[in-house]
Structure 1
Amino acid sequence: MTEPQDAEARRKIPPVICYPVDTLPRPNLAAYQAVREGWQKVDEVIVPPREARCFSVPAGSFFRIVSIEGPQVGDLNLWAAEDLNERFFSGKTRALHGTHLSTGDQLWSCLPYLRPMATITHDTLDWYGFDEFGGSVHDVIGTRCDPYTHKLLSGHEYHHCCHSNLTRALADRVGRSRESVEPAVHDVLNVFMCTGFTRDTGQYFMKASPVRPGDYLEFFAEIDLLGALSACPGGDCSSEHSSDVAVCHPLLVEIYKPKTRPEGWAPAPRSSYSRKHGD
């Protein structure tokens, strides 16, 4: 198709940020950091390779996702502990904080709740930034590897995709059937995963994660949380996911209880919007 005469002028129109965050309430990171002193580790969960496990975090506590044996990507789901309908909203989190998350960013819950569920308080990979390909770490642009897309593209069934892993883990935790809890499994924070979009075709890409044993991503729970983490069957996602041949490693989730609450902190309230939606 022939370009219009003003095509270049249209391309040069400057962008406008969709959601300016100047008025977004921001967490007091200094207060969060202060209560880490003298905290106590109260629980830990090992997530086996190509599997998922659930864990609970009370509001006001911290949790870490830790690389312990080798480079491994994890897919994280979060729910309000008492209501699976309130779950992590990767799309709105992306709109507010960008495509990849790090220290100070918050994980927001879905509508109609829309409140911070967790705040990232420490990231040992924040040095990575964006590489020459446009890749970065901890994305909220991908979904999660799932058996439906795998069947669509390969014609085969694979049951250890992150979607299936998370479904099994959630069903086991709440004592319900896999079919009944599957709709609660949602788009993830891709912990440690290095991703971006190709500049020529705009396709979602992945590359070898820079994570190494000892690296971690740490969160402060803004509300009572139920979490689920899948150790992705793609391992470090350097070549493929949904794979039985990729080298995979376990992940560790650690729960820490501080001695006191951060100064001025209270659990995040749900959105105060009236839900009238007009006349």
Structure 2
Amino acid sequence: MSEAERAARIEGYRRRYEELKHTGTTIAPTVWPAPTALNAASIAESDVITASTLPGGWYTTLLLARGQGLRLVNKDGKGAASLLAWNAKDPSERLNHADTIKVQWTTELRKGRVLFSDMGRVILSIIEDTSGHHDVLVGGSTAASIKERYGDDPSHRNTRDNLVLAAGKHGLGRADIAPVVTFFAPTVVGAHGEIGWNEAGRRPGDFVDLRAEMDLIVAVSACPHPMDPAPSYAPGDLGLIRFKAPPVSADDLCRTATQEARRGFDNLDDYLALQGA
């Protein structure tokens, strides 16, 4: 292939990408809902199933049934919640952060957006979000990145090792650890693709409500994000509230906001029908 032919092929791919992006984004709302107010969307005590605090640097796992919600709370404004999720009935299906970005044509997760699995199905919906500042590009910390940033202290835990331990509690291993989505990590993308950090995007009390669209195994790690500028290892605590989520309405924003989300829910509905759910 000549250089001219190669350039023409690349240009054709670029035009096709722009056409698909235009089609997908013009169907989406021109104005997305404003972030949830900090004092809004209270959870009735009768709807709370479990509530706990995840200490900074540690991890937890939980089983989230279809229709249940998980509220992640940035208690002191210094926390970061790195999350993975697997289909509880078939853990070979798991959160796919790349498809979550590509299918929705955005790196911006906020109220009304969804998280996709690697089977093209919606597994989690963002039904409330006070922040709108989350990371789907950088990923979680490793032993090497923590050592480089904070020094060689064996008490400094990292996201990768936390999630390996979390997966092991459900019979999963290193091969089951995919790239994470990290909530309350205010990364920003510049005009030329550079990734920066907006510390003003974190506030004490910020929360995100995720609704499970199928039965899930969920793992959450509370280690520092790799781009967190804090000079010392002092990750913040997270609040975790599992609750009965409100019933899904016919005009549910997460199901109807974009053409891609609709297809993801159609794929999910087909799967659930085969499972007899």
Please give the root-mean-square deviation of Cα atoms over the aligned residues, in Å: 4.1
Q: Give structure 2 stretches of 5+ with no counterpart.
A: 1-10, 34-40, 256-264, 272-277
Note the alpha carbon deviations across 1:38-58, whole angstroms, 9 max, x for none.
860101242221111111211
SS in 1 for 2:165: helix
Letter in 2 for 1:262: V
Do the aligned residues in 1 keep the contact of 2:73 with 2:208 (CA within 8 Å)? yes
User: Aligned equivalents of 2:152 and 2:81: distance in 1?
Assistant: 23
2:239 to 247, 252, 255: 252
- Equivalent residue for 2:140, pick from 140, 144, 153: 144
- Contact 1:53–1:229 (Cα < 8 Å) also in 2: yes
Higher helix share: 2
Q: Distance in 1 between matches of 2:26 and 2:45?
A: 33
Aligned to 1:262: 248
Structure 2 CA distance for aligned equivalents of residues 117 and 210 of structure 1: 26
Identity level (%): 22
Shift in Å, 1:209: 5.7
CA pair 68-270 structure 1, distance change in 2 beyond 3 A: same
Q: Distance in 1 between matches of 2:76 and 2:150?
A: 30
Letter in 1 for 2:185: M
Supply the distance in 2 between the matched residues of 1:45 and 1:236 (Cα, whole angstroms): 26
Of residues 44-53 and 87-96 in structure 1, the stretch that sits farther from structure 2 once superposed is 44-53
For residues 119 and 85 of structure 1, the distance between their equivalents in structure 2, rounded to whole angstroms, comes to 20
Distance in structure 1 (CA, Å) of the matches to 2:214 and 2:235: 32
SS in 2 for 1:59: coil
* Alignment partner of 1:90 is 2:97: yes
For residue 177 of structure 2, the aligned residue among 185, 197, 204 is 185
Change (3 A) 1:80 1:24: farther
Partner Cα distance (1:71, 1:153) in 2:
17
Picking from 114, 122, 134, the partner of 2:120 is 114
- Deviation (angstroms), 1:148: 5.6
Mapped to 2, the partners of 1:150 and 1:221 lie a distance apart of 31
Deviation at 1:74, TM superposition (A): 1.5
Give distance in 2, aligned partners of 1:115 and 1:48: 32
Question: CA 1:234–1:99 in structure 2 vs 1: closer, same or farther (change >3 Å)?
Answer: closer
Name the aligned partner's letter for residue 164 of structure 1.
Answer: D
Task: State which drifts further: 62-71 or 262-271.
Answer: 262-271
Deviation (angstroms), 1:154: 10
Q: Match for residue 16 of structure 1? A: 18
The match for 2:113 among 90, 102, 105 is 105
Amino acid paired to 1:250: D
Moved more, 55-64 or 144-153: 144-153
Selected match of 2:159 from 157, 162, 174:
162
Q: What SS class does the counterpart of residue 82 from structure 1 fall into? A: coil
| Partner SS state of residue 91, structure 1 | helix
The aligned length equals 235
CA contact (8 A) 1:18 1:95 kept: no
2:18 is paired with a residue of what secondary structure?
A: coil
Contact conserved, 1:51 with 1:160, CA < 8 A, in 2? yes
Match of 2:36? Answer: none
The structure-2 alpha-carbon separation of the partners of 1:196 and 1:156, relative to structure 1 and needing over 3 Å to count, comes to: same
Give ranges in structure 1 of 5+ residues lacking alignment. 1-9, 127-136, 274-279
